[in-house]
Each structure stands twice: as C-alpha cells, then as structure tokens.
Amino acid sequence: MTTVFRPFTLALIQLGSIGANKADNLRHARQVILQAAQGNGVKKPDLIVLPECFNSPYGHIHFPVYAEPIGFVPGKPYDIDQCQSESVKMLSTVARETSTWLIGGSIPECDSNGKVFNTCTVYDPKGALVATHRKVHLFDIDIPGQIKFKESETLTGGSSLSHFDAGFAKIGLGICYDIRFPELAMIAARQGCHVLIYPGAFNMTTGPLHWELLSRSRAVDNQVFVSVCSPARDLSAGYHAWGHSMIVDPMGRILGEAGAEEEIVYATIEPEVLYSTRTGIPVTVQRRFDVYPDVSKFPN
C-alpha cells in the first residue's frame, strides 16, 4: 500500500535544562511538549520531536544508570499500562493529551540480557507506542586534543532499520551518528520514506563542520526532507551539544533552524517540494546499480 503524503507541520524541541535528576528532566520535557503542541500562532503541529538522550546527561557512564526497560517488539501489541519505563509512560500520556504524533528523542534502554541501547520511541496521537529505533552506529570517535567519545563502552548498537507511517507521511528514523551513514538514509528513501528524522547531539568540534552539511547532504542525496533535533547547549554539562536543530527540504534549503538555546522550531512540510525536486533532477530513477551493485563487496 502506498503511503499518503500530505502537508503537515513539524515541531522540533531543542530542549534545555537536561540535568542529573531524571524526574526533573521528564517534567521539563513534558512542559515544553505541551507548549510546542499549542503551535506557533499559525498552526498546531502534527508531529513533535525531542532530542537525543533527553532524560539523562549524555555520557557513556550515565547510560546504564538511567536505562529503562521498554520491551517493544515490532508488529506485536504493546501495553503501556504494563510498561516499566517512566519515560515511555510520560511520552505516551502527553502524546494522547495533545493528540499529536510524538518522536520521543532517545533514552537509554536496557533489555533482559543486561544490554543497553540508545533508543528512540514513537507515539501516535492516542498515545500508542508504534515504533522504536535503537541507534545502529555507536558514536566512537577520537580526534586528539578535541573530542574522544566511546558509546560502545556501555552501549550495544541496534541491528535494524526503523520506518513508520504517520498517515500524512512515511518517516525514517536514525539517531545522531547514524546520519553519517548514507546507506541507512538511502534505504529509507528507497523504501518510500518522505522524511528522515534524527534526534541528535553533535558536539562543539564536529557540530560546526558537519551537522548542517550532513543534514543537507542526506536531504539532497535522497530528495527527502531531513530533520535533526538537538538538546540546547549547556556549558555546565559534561557534554556540550552544538544545538542548531533544523529542518531541510529535498532541495537542501533550510526551512527552520534553532540557535544554541532552548527553542521550538516549526516548519510546514510540503509534499510538492519533494515531487518537483524529483521531477526536475530525476536522480532517484537514474541510479546505475548495474555499475555499483553492492558497495560492501569493495575493500576499504
């Protein structure tokens, strides 16, 4: 069945005040979601997005401490009342109260084998948990003198791709470092996603260089809308996020962008832009898979 793609309003919450107290983080996130759901004076959003790791400080030592069991299995019914995750319960409740689709950024998730994942959860306007995405590519980098970070110290990478149908668009999910891997975005687009959404938290070294570049690249490569949602910058925290949450259209134009502080960014997603981009520059039907059939066969 082909997914309907209709105009809709997207709101990104560049959340601030993410501290050590999880209950405070959840309270604050709920309050800003309620505010975002009011709209920007023009239109109430159809979909609200939170940033990566919105309920805990961002750092590998924190993930196991803040991790919550979610236990979502795609395609199986999920009972929110039985769920052990306070973050999932809050997100489900506020999605229902606001009658809005909600992409709950990400939270550390633990499974029954003691593995911890960086997981995004998605709620429909009735509060049902309809999709999850476990960050596939862990953020392990070392730029001497600038930044060293190793999520794999405590996290396990997810092993599947995640797309969902919101009724007004098919949406592909990734988390932060996942945006550096064009294969994930290309598969989502080839499977019919119109919009790719990455809760993220780039840093002050790579953020200025790559955050916008990667967002616009994934949008132009695949002729889809791309949106990246960061926490606000907090120079008193252990990790300094770049901020600059943004929404990019299939031509690579930035439709809305935050600064470094807490802010809500709204944009209207117009399907016509995707269709006219694909008609004018038809790369999506000009690919030469006979020349480059499977890049994984080539050595590094």
Ligand X SMILES: NC(=O)CCC(=O)C(=O)O
* 109 sits in which H/E element: strand 107-110
Out of 180, 221, 251, 284, the only residue in the binding site for ligand X (CB under 6 A) is 180
Residues noted as catalytic: 52, 135, 176
Tell me which amino acid residue 4 is. V
Out of 18, 110, 176, 226, the only residue in the binding site for ligand X (CB under 6 A) is 176
Q: What x/- string results for residues 100 through 139 when contact with ligand X is judged by CB under 6 A?
A: ---------------------------------------x
Out of 25, 92, 206, 227, the only residue in the binding site for ligand X (CB under 6 A) is 206
User: In whole angstroms, what is the distance from residue 193 CA to residue 75 CA?
Assistant: 19
As measured in angstroms, the least distance from the Cβ of 59 to ligand X is 10
| Residue 196 engages ligand X in binding (rule: CB under 6 A) | no
Nearer to ligand X, 56 or 203 (CB): 203
Which of 288, 209, 217 has the alpha carbon at shortest distance from 251?
Answer: 217
User: In whole angstroms, what is the distance from residue 88 CA to residue 79 CA?
Assistant: 11
Tell me the site size for ligand X, rule CB under 6 A: 11
Nearer to ligand X, 84 or 146 (CB): 146
| Residue 203 engages ligand X in binding (rule: CB under 6 A) | yes
| Residue 155 engages ligand X in binding (rule: CB under 6 A) | no
Cβ atoms 111, 82 nearer than 8 A: no
User: In whole angstroms, what is the distance from residue 132 CA to residue 116 CA?
Assistant: 14
Sequence-ordered list of residues with C-beta below 8 angstroms from that of 184, at least 6 positions apart, any chain: 136, 137, 161, 172, 174, 178
Binding site for ligand X (CB under 6 A): 52, 139, 176-177, 180, 200-203, 206, 210
